Amino acid sequence: MLDLRQFQWTRQPKSFSFLDEGLEVITAPHTDLWQRTYYHFRNDNAPVFQMETEEPFFSFQVKTTFESKHRFDQCGVVMYLDSENWLKGSIEYENETFQHLGSVATNHGYSDWATTAIDASVRSMWYRLSRRQDDFCIECSTDGVHFSQMRVCHMWEAQGRIRFGVYACSPEDSSFRAVFTDMELTECKWLAHDGQQPDAE
């Protein structure tokens, strides 16, 4: 497990505690990460807990356990560079029937949102964020062993030193408990592409 003393808060939540096995966060209402697209508003006040590295190839893995109960409650993995350049993967609660398992890539101030519906009974998920220079992959797993790809993307401002870690927030009038455990930093488990060769430059 990673030494959490290597991490720093970009924005500190009002309520959090360090556990023997990880980190607990109690979200505050009206906290979120989103930039412009479709909704035309900008939210940039979610607590973000990150470490730094210049390593161009790595994988960061974390287990999330959560008690979300209100629309858009979410917690997961994040790479937050600044307000207009960041990447996140999480489960966003929707209602008593389903949730959105998805990811958001924000480049130069514009967010997207790619999701798939999962059952509302899911209360735990593993994530793996992998870096290959300025390209990234987010994967998810229900058991911490078998991972499925959620997103591959390019992050324009992810040059050299970057920050990555975890986040939790409640965009509407809500609050919930999120726990982050089993944080690991390893060699890059997102292997080099072995199919079509890149175009000559």
Q: What is the pLDDT of residue 195?
A: 80
Angle at 155 between CA 172 and CA 131, to 5 degrees: 100
Distance separating alpha carbons of residues 59 and 127, to the nearest angstrom: 10
pLDDT at 201 over 70: no
Domain of 175, in residue numbers: 4-186
Find the distance separating the first CA and the last CA of the chain, reported in whole Å: 41
Identify whether 193 is part of a domain.
no
Which tens digits make up the pLDDT trace of 33-59? 999 999 889 999 999 999 999 999 999
What domain count does the chain have? 1
Mean pLDDT score of the chain: 96
Identify whether 18 is part of a domain.
yes
Give the lowest-confidence range in 10-14, 23-27, 70-74.
10-14
Tokens of 77: 């993995």
Distance separating alpha carbons of residues 114 and 39, to the nearest angstrom: 15
Distance separating alpha carbons of residues 134 and 46, to the nearest angstrom: 24
Q: What is the DSSP letter of 170?
A: B
Identify whether 46 is part of a domain.
yes
Identify whether 162 is part of a domain.
yes
Q: What is the pLDDT of residue 194?
A: 85
Identify whether 192 is part of a domain.
no
Which pTM value belongs to this model?
A: 0.96
Which tens digits make up the pLDDT trace of 111-137? 999 999 999 999 999 999 999 999 999
Distance separating alpha carbons of residues 144 and 186, to the nearest angstrom: 14
CATH code where residue 23 lies = 2.60.120.200
